[in-house]
Amino acid sequence: MSAAKQTHKHERYKGEYPIVVEGLTNRFGPITVHENLDLKVRRGEILGVVGGSGSGKSVLMRSIIGLQRPNEGDIRVFDKSIIQAQPDEEIGVRDRWGVLFQGGALFSTLTVGENVEVPLKQFYPEIHETLRKEIARYKVLLSGLPEEAVRKYPSELSGGMKKRAGLARALALDPELLFLDEPTAGLDPIGAAAFDRLTRELKETLGLTVFLITHDLDTLHEICDRVAVIADRKIIAVDTVPKLMELDHPWIQEYFNGPRGRAALTAQALDELRKHMDLPIAQHAVKALDKPPAGKDKA
Ligand SMILES: Nc1ncnc2c1ncn2[C@@H]1O[C@H](COP(=O)(O)OP(=O)(O)OP(=O)(O)O)[C@@H](O)[C@H]1O
């Protein structure tokens, strides 16, 4: 490894916005998915990204990580333009993010440990095999999997374990940015809540900035610092959930204040109140709220 590359590895981004998207337009034939879309992601936040099905959440993520070349606009990650860089050009940012794609995208013929080794081999071919395996093992444990998962194949894992294995691979290179595309989709509520907690803990202990695409209202309420809403081919609002709920855009109202939104809010209120059960008022409120609401639309 060159000295320059080595120095770069230890320099973390200190600016305010590690991701800046300006005037982004993406078209597929006659369909315009994004038009003049702007977004700034703050360093150290978990930014939730929501929008209707087909509104362009995944295309936005793919644009930011350089997998989708937009028709117009600029995207800067760590102040470096992703658009102007050639796909295979070394611009020194591709090893500073980790991505958990929808469904995990693990290599089925490799064990979990070997999956985690893939990016290490790609970006640090000089690392000795013993150390590489040790780093992979550590990332698997960091993702909340048991030791024996290292030697298992993806087909031997439950849905939740696969997500964690995908997360371990996303963390392989000690990234500063973590992209998660629907991480809790397909998990039961307990598994989803555990994955949310893990995301929050990792963000805090590793100082990550997290770009999180989700439909999961519990995730939005529980762990997102801010939420960006895609509608009408743009980001129409970026704010905390309570502030978004005050906006009168029809999609936002339907999403956050509809039955599923209210159920998620009640669940969050209950979690908070249960931390204060020594207070009679909390006991009283929990009793009142802890009834299944009539006609609750189960998320
Ligand atoms: N490579 C492609 N070629 C043609 N159309 C595409 C391509 N990728 C995405 N699209 C279209 O762009 C639109 C946005 O897709 P995208 O996957 O970003 O939506 P999404 O908001 O992530 O949806 P979902 O919540 O259903 O996952 C869709 O209409 C999709 O069909």
User: What are the Cα distances from residue 105, in Å, to 29, 94, 102, 230, 250?
Assistant: 27, 18, 7, 25, 35
Distance 182 CA to ligand 1 centre (A): 14
Distance 282 CA to ligand 1 centre (A): 45
Residue 277: pLDDT band by 50, 70, 90 thresholds? confident
Residue 288: pLDDT band by 50, 70, 90 thresholds? low
76 lines ligand 1 (CB under 6 A): no
Name the burial class of residue 299, with classes exposed (0-12), middle (13-18) and buried (19+) by CB atoms within 10 angstroms of its CB.
middle
Q: Taking the model in full, what pTM does it have?
A: 0.85
Q: Which of 58, 182, 211 to mutate to test the pocket of ligand 1 (most atoms within 8 A of CB)?
A: 58
Q: Is the pLDDT of residue 31 over 90?
A: yes
Closest CA to 44 of 76, 12, 67, 21: 12
The β-bridge relationship of strands 19-28 and 72-77 is antiparallel
55 lines ligand 1 (CB under 6 A): yes
Beta strands in the chain (DSSP E): 19-28, 31-41, 46-51, 72-77, 80-81, 97-100, 177-181, 209-213, 226-231, 234-239
C-alpha 134/C-alpha 182 separation (Å) is: 29
Helices and strands, number each (H, E), in the chain: 11, 10
Distance 28 CA to ligand 1 centre (A): 9
Structure confidence at residue 5 (pLDDT): 45
Token pair, residue 122, equals 């790609």
Residue with CA nearest ligand 1 atom 1: 28
For the CA of 56, the nearest atom of ligand 1 = 18
Residue percentage of the chain with pLDDT more than 90: 56
C-alpha 163/C-alpha 293 separation (Å) is: 31
53 lines ligand 1 (CB under 6 A): yes
> Average pLDDT, stretch 265-278?
70
Q: Is the pLDDT of residue 27 over 90?
A: yes
For the CA of 62, the nearest atom of ligand 1 = 18
Q: Which of 27, 31, 32, 59 to mutate to test the pocket of ligand 1 (most atoms within 8 A of CB)?
A: 59
54 lines ligand 1 (CB under 6 A): yes
67 lines ligand 1 (CB under 6 A): no
> Average pLDDT, stretch 290-296?
50
ipTM: 0.97
259 lines ligand 1 (CB under 6 A): no
> Average pLDDT, stretch 182-196?
88
C-alpha 202/C-alpha 168 separation (Å) is: 11
Residue with CA nearest ligand 1 atom 7: 28
59 lines ligand 1 (CB under 6 A): yes
How does pLDDT run across 136-150, given as a tens digit for each residue?
A: 999 999 999 999 999
Distance 67 CA to ligand 1 centre (A): 13
295: left (phi over 0), alpha (psi -120 to 50) or beta: left
Compute the mean pLDDT over every residue in the chain, rounded to the nearest whole number: 86
> Average pLDDT, stretch 199-225?
92
